[in-house]
Chains A and B, each alone.
Chain A
């Protein structure tokens, strides 16, 4: 038992130290999906609840962005925990195994340049909304027969999307501006909610490290409830810049705690950058 504990301790310590060492060169992105799953063991094997209209019930809090660290009480003092506690670091370090988007070869120089200058070029580092799909899966879903509301307590500020579920077409009004979260319409395909998103501004990126996109970006999200989990899949199709559509998958777990509003985002860093160093972000 003692040796097991010692081994466990050695491994988790090694994970923490490795994470510190790796961070400046950008190989460790922290996530909290596995830690959220650990909060609700056996969630996927529970019965899947349904609404009165027969569709799966997606209501609930499913994810917290950047809840990777906490300050925890230890004796009379407080120390950083969560992703930085030896007890739980391995949960947060679990790799997502995401594929990389495949850009047209002639555009890789632009990706690399944006990546090298990320502290200046990445607008999310300066409190601009990340936009869809970088915003990630919904933190909370409020569902009615006619629409689904996706809520996000993002660290760039609170975000919301109202998604009509009546299979209406996208707006064709040429005056409708492209926005961070775009024009979303939803419909059910059997037990899967499918959300189709267009009219996305090209001010945002698909993800970390310079992954820009064009105004032609078309995003499709698929949400399927399995017990107290949601299988979330998002596909970004941008034929202007990508060789083929790029798809990410996440498993969300129903969370016991409420969604708290995000503190306002105020960029106080921009004037103090001395170098262009950065490391991988959580998205």
Chain B
């Protein structure tokens, strides 16, 4: 088993035109929009701060070792009215699936573009998901 499998994440290339331009200033200085990583883990901490919220996801490998990923996402204001608050993020102890564009510096970090819960509901922070036909072309 490779490192990737032990960490239970998989990286796939996405179409590079689906840039998460919603990061307000310097996304491309920090994250690689051409790569997508999927993680399974539990949310252990949330920083509800400007200019972007940060969600920390604990990911266990097969040996039981936990790695905490630090995931930037959209500004707090974007979540207004959606029901996705700090309390909601922290209250679920279920394993979630998060999709992210990884940090360019190789840290366990990235820009979270999707958060999926076991019951099937999804929070998408990707513009490509705002329209179903864009979603198809991305896949």
Are the CB atoms of B123 and A71 closer together than 8 Å? Answer: yes
* B82 and A119 contact, CB distance less than 8 A: no
Chain A residue at minimum C-beta to C-beta distance from B135? A79
B48 cross-chain contacts in A, Cβ below 8 A: 263
B52 to chain A, nearest CB (A): 8
A70 to B48, CA, bound (A): 16
CB pair A71–B79 under 8 Å, yes or no, is yes
Q: Decide: A80 near B29, CB < 8 A? Known: A16-B127, A70-B80.
A: no
C-alpha spacing A77/B104, complex, angstroms: 30
Rounded to whole Å, the gap between the CB of A263 and the closest CB of chain B is 4
Known contacts A13-B133, A69-B78, A119-B26; is A78 also within 8 Å of B50 by CB? no
What number of A residues sit within 8 Å (CB to CB) of B? 54
Once the chains bind, are A84 and B130 in contact (CB under 8 Å)?
yes
Interface residues on B, range: 35 or more
Q: Point out the residues of chain B lying under 8 angstroms from A80, CB to CB.
A: 22, 74, 78, 124-127, 129-130
Stretch of A166-174, A215-223, A238-246, A264-272 contacting B (4+ beta carbons < 8 Å) = A264-272
- On A, residues with C-beta under 8 Å from B are 13, 16-17, 19-21, 23-24, 28, 64, 66-67, 69-73, 76-86, 118-119, 122, 125, 127, 155-157, 260, 262-266, 268-269, 272-279, 281-282
Interface residue ranges, B against A (CB under 8 Å): 17-19, 21-22, 24-30, 47-54, 70, 72, 74-84, 103-105, 107, 109, 120-127, 129-131, 133-134
